[in-house]
Amino acid sequence: MHLLITGGAGFIGSHFVRMTLSDYPGDRVTVLDKLTYAGNLRNLEDVADNPRYRFVHGDICDPTAVAGAMEGVDAVVNFAAETHVDRSLLDPASFIDTDVKGAYTLLEAVRQKPSVRFLQVSTDEVYGSIESGSFCETDRLSPSSPYSASKAGGEMMAMAYRKTHGVDIVITRGSNNYGPYQYPEKLIPLFITNALDDQPLPLYGDGGNVRDWIYVLDHCRGIDTALRKGESGGIYNVAGMNERDNRDITYRILALLGKDESLIRHVEDRPGHDRRYSIAADRLLSLGWAPRKSFEEGMAETVAWYRDRRDWWEPLKSGEHRTYYTAMYAKRLAEAEQR
């Protein structure tokens, strides 16, 4: 199989590229990536010389770039997206452009090639918050942020192209990912790297927001299972089955690094912050997939990776990231210090 992996230089996409090249010796991979702040060719440097790998620098909103990258492919796996909720509060327009218009541009190209399968990588955040129980794939979508709304829009575009044009569509909705190579704006890598430098850990609200956490390679294997075994038009939740609140995550990181809890700063909560996410993965489990990495093992490995790879994350936490971090947290941290 020849796969076009959009956003393949990002966190989850780069793991999917490595997994595919390792697990399927007959497969070829083309990566199309715009290389925004979260796209990093260093994430793919270990496969750069693989003859079954090709990189194309381009935007999924550019029909010419998409057409060139799609030559000869059997399936498209769309990881390319703006993904950070906090950024979507500052700049929602870029999320609509990439997550909706980008999906549309890819689908327009795919409908010209009836044999190509299109997998849209989505998120559990499209369901919104749930007090108890878990969402299944047939539940109503109720996104709470510009980010989750844009991902829901990309899904709707994909399903519309299936109904209108007969495009072979599969959608996956994954829970919160963690692991190596995650850009240090997200909770776990941000708190790990801040703690390593004895910097404050800005914990939103009371820290009681609950997320289902999945190790990135388990998520990739779930996506791969849906791609290769899922039914056309099928939607599959990819759950880690590890619900933890943000306090637990924070304390675990500090304990693994031997750091003091005095680094925690409870800061003003972000607007519209969903309290709890939870999804049921029965449909995907029925296809033979299951998570392999325990949360305890995965967190220990992730913390160790960031501790040992300052060469990867320190350059990312300067420049643009520092500007964004200041805009997002400076006022909240200052107010926390005054309390």
What's the CA gap between 98 and 154, in Å, rounded? 9
Q: How far apart are CA 74 and CA 287, in angstroms?
A: 21
The catalytic residue among 53, 147, 178, 329 is 147
> Is the distance from CB of 296 to CB of 249 less than 8 angstroms?
no
**How many Cβ atoms from other residues are within 10 Å of residue 30's Cβ?**
23
99 carries an active-site annotation: no
The answer to whether residue 335 is catalytic is no
Of 82, 86, 124, 168, catalytic: 124
Q: Give the DSSP per-residue string, 109-128.
A: HHTT-TT-EEEEEEEGGGG-
Structure tokens at 108: 């327009």
CB-based contact 300:170 (threshold 8 Å) = no
> Is 147 an active-site residue?
yes
SS3 185: coil
Over the range 174-207, which residues count as b (16 or more CB within 10 Å of their CB) and which as e? bbbbbbbbbbbbbbbbbbbbbbbeebbbbbbeeb
Q: Which of 59, 82, 99, 125 is catalytic?
A: 125
- Helices in 73-168 by DSSP H: which ranges? 85-90, 92-96, 102-110, 146-165
Here the tokens at position 277 are 């996410």
Residue 311 burial (CB count, 10 A): 8
* Residues recognised as catalytic: 124-125, 147
